[in-house]
């Protein structure tokens, strides 16, 4: 490992940089004074900007050490810091560390923390030489766990009554990602289609997803073997929703690793005289999260209406199954559609005869 300290990193929306004392007022106003933000943290909400200045003074001094990693998350559009991300613990014997973060509630749910986290992971793996980066969250704070899943971290287990935060003693869910699991260039994670002539447009691909009802879901299974299973689904507002049980192989596999792929076939016509299959299909790569509360109810209702457009009956079924039903949301990160070359040739011949 070669410690290089907190260097400036940049993403599409963010600048990750060292804090300065001039950040005190923005830090205090944007998140440090929010009890909603600090509910599951180990430090209390700041009572005044003076408390924030004292913390920043310690961090600024910490930058003198090459192994101190504490980034301010500055939103370019705003020109102010809105959160922080840092290495909170290191394990030199295994070249490992833990990450921690927080961000003002006004910016929750906008994908900002995963964007910042990916930049930090890339730096820690490629430049510093860490081999393992972990993170933990209170079981009662699943939103933080979803950030870990979006960063490609794998769930490794829950330690009972293993931590303490402003809520008291808590159970901690632990996630981690290894260096060889993080792509050196995120674009390498998804290969371009080799036979690009057969690639469908985004609109054509989404039409397959919207019209389909059944897909094959592929996950990271036990022992390194892929695990694929058919699921019913609904495509709504750019995301895919499907259901299952709250226990079992599928549930365990997705909780361990939220990265999945899904294949939908919209046309499958064998043409024996040409020794081919006239197919159209779509493949989705993305990350899955387990829905809870009203989100789960809404997803179950959307699924029910996809197959039985009877609102009263669907609401009744959802209410009856809620206790044992698990609903999942798949957020696509890469979508491709493909059709048989013979279909392209048929269209070409048809247009040529017009």
Q: What DSSP line would sit under 102-153, residue for residue?
A: EE-GGGTTSSHHHHHHHHHHHHIIIII--SEEEEEEETT-HHHHHHHHHTTP
Task: Give the helix/strand (H/E) hosting 72.
Answer: strand 70-75
Q: What is the pLDDT of residues 102-147, one digit of tens each?
A: 999 999 988 899 999 999 999 999 999 999 999 999 999 988 888 9
Q: How far, in Å, CA of 11 to CA of 350, rounded?
A: 47
Dihedral sign, Cα of residue 107, residue 174, residue 289, residue 245? negative
Architecture of domain 194-353 in this structure: Roll (2.30)
Q: Are 32 and 104 in contact (CB under 8 A)?
A: no
Q: How far, in Å, CA of 125 to CA of 77, rounded?
A: 28
Confidence band of 187 (pLDDT split at 50, 70, 90): very low
Q: What value does the mean pLDDT of the chain take?
A: 91
Confidence band of 90 (pLDDT split at 50, 70, 90): very high
For the chain, the domains span: 9-181, 194-353
List the single range of 18-27, 229-238, 284-293 with lowest mean pLDDT: 284-293
C-alpha dihedral (222, 227, 232, 234), degrees to nearest 10: 90
Task: Provide mean pLDDT across the span 254-271.
Answer: 88
Q: What is the pTM of this model?
A: 0.59
User: Residue 79: left if φ>0, alpha if ψ -120 to 50, beta else—which one?
Assistant: left
Q: Which structure tokens are listed for 116?
A: 């910042």
Q: Are 165 and 187 in contact (CB under 8 A)?
A: no
Superfamily of the domain at 9-181: Gcn5-related N-acetyltransferase (GNAT) (3.40.630.30)
- Compute the C-alpha angle 47/49/51, nearest 5°: 65
DSSP readout, 284-340? EEEEEEE--HHHHHHHHHHHHHHH---HHHHHHHHHHHTTTEEEEEEEEEEEEEEE-
Residue pointed to by tokens 């393992």: 132
């Amino acid at each position: 490992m070669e410690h290089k300290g907190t260097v400036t990193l940049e993403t599409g929306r963010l600048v990750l940089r060292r804090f300065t004392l001039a950040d005190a007022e923005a830090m205090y106003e944007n998140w440090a004074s929010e009890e909603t933000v600090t509910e599951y943290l180990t430090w209390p909400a700041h009572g005044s900007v003076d408390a924030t200045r004292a913390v920043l003074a310690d961090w600024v001094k910490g930058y003198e050490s090459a192994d101190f990693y504490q980034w301010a998350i500055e939103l370019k559009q705003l020109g102010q810091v809105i959160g922080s991300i840092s290495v909170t613990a290191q394990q030199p014997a295994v070249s490992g560390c833990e990450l921690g973060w927080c961000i003002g509630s006004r910016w929750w749910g906008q994908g900002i923390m995963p964007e910042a986290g990916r930049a930090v992971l890339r730096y820690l793996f490629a430049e510093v030489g860490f081999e393992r980066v972990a993170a933990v969250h209170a079981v009662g704070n699943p939103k933080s766990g979803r950030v870990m899943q979006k960063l490609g971290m794998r769930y490794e287990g829950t330690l009972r009554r293993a931590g303490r935060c402003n809520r008291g003693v808590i159970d901690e869910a632990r996630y981690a990602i290894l260096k060889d699991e993080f792509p050196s260039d995120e674009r390498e994670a998804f290969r371009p289609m080799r036979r690009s002539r057969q690639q469908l447009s985004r609109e054509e691909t989404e039409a397959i997803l919207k019209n389909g009802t059944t897909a094959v879901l592929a996950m990271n299974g036990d022992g390194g073997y892929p695990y694929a299973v058919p699921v019913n689904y609904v495509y709504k507002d750019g995301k895919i929703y499907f259901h299952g049980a709250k226990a079992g192989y599928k549930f365990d596999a997705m909780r361990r690793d939220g990265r999945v792929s899904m294949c939908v076939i919209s046309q499958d016509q064998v043409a024996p005289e040409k020794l081919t299959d006239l197919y159209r299909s779509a493949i989705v790569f993305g990350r899955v999260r387990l829905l809870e509360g009203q989100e789960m109810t809404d997803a179950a209702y959307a699924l029910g209406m996809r197959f039985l457009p009877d609102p009263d009956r669907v609401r009744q079924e959802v209410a009856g199954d809620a206790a044992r039903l698990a609903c999942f949301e798949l957020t696509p990160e890469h979508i491709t559609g493909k059709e048989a070359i013979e279909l392209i040739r048929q269209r070409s011949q048809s247009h040529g005869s017009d």
